Each structure stands twice: as C-alpha cells, then as structure tokens.
Amino acid sequence: MTITQTAAPTLRIPAVNRPTAVIGSVVVAVAVNLVVWLLGEAAGGSFEAVDKGVTTQIGAGTVAASAAVPLFIGMTLAALISYLWAGVLRVAQIVGGVLAVATIGLTVAAALDTATTVTLSVMHLVLAPVLVVGLEAMRRGLPAN
C-alpha cells in the first residue's frame, strides 16, 4: 500500500526591491479598484455622497487617488523605516491590513446607496491583501544581514 501526500498549493511571492514593491502595489490596487468601481457603476451605484447638502461625485479620479495615496504613503514610510528596522514590515502588514478593513466603517456610515456602499467597501478590502503581499515581497527582497 502506498501513501501519497499532496501539498497545498502555495502563493509564490517574489522578492523585489523597495521601489518596485511600493509602485507595483499602488498600480495593482488602483487597477483592481477601478475595475471594482466599473462593476459598481454597472450594478447601478450612483457614487454620489451627500454631506451637509453638498453632493460630491465619486469618479474614477477619486477612486484612483483614494487607493494610491494612503497605500503609497504607508508603504513608503514602512520601506524607509525598514532600512533601520526590518521588523517594521511585519508590523505594517498587520496595521495596514487592519486599517484598510476598519475604515469600511466610514463608508457604511456615509449616506450612500447600497450598490455604492458595497462597492466602496470592497475597494477597502482590496487594499488589505495588496498591502500585505506588497510588503511581503519587499521583505523578501531585503538584503540578507
């Protein structure tokens, strides 16, 4: 009798340098969030936020900026600190992932239609794995000490 053991498929994360990890993550997050936004538009989302009587349209530029800016700032900060303390990348994976998910509360609290709320919430969820994988690729690309 033969016993075969199968290994679960693993996610292969490449080792990349700091700039590649940051810019690559930002590009992926923006691209995926724009696709999610287009799906939300197709689902009938208005993407209009009303605050104190002022209506703001959430367009492709807002989606791109909302994905790119916090991700770029957070990952760049982690990358710079990693020159002094490589462990910051693990901390940033946890903190960044939690913040991406926790800020969904701001979307849910806003006066938005259901399709828009769900779409914007999914956009927050997209940032968490992009950040975690990007920081892991950066961590693997650090020179061995």
Each residue of 38-64: pLDDT tens digit? 999 999 999 998 888 888 999 999 999
Tokens of 108: 């849910």
Buried b (16+ CB within 10 A) or exposed e, 30-50: bebbeebbeebbeeebebebe
Between CA 86 and CA 8 the distance in angstroms is 29
| Residue corresponding to tokens 């807002």 | 62
For 118-145, what is each residue's pLDDT tens digit? 999 999 999 999 999 999 999 999 986 4
Between CA 78 and CA 107 the distance in angstroms is 26
Q: CB atoms < 10 A from the CB of 126, how many? A: 20
pTM comes to 0.88
In the predicted model, is pLDDT for residue 91 greater than 60? Answer: yes
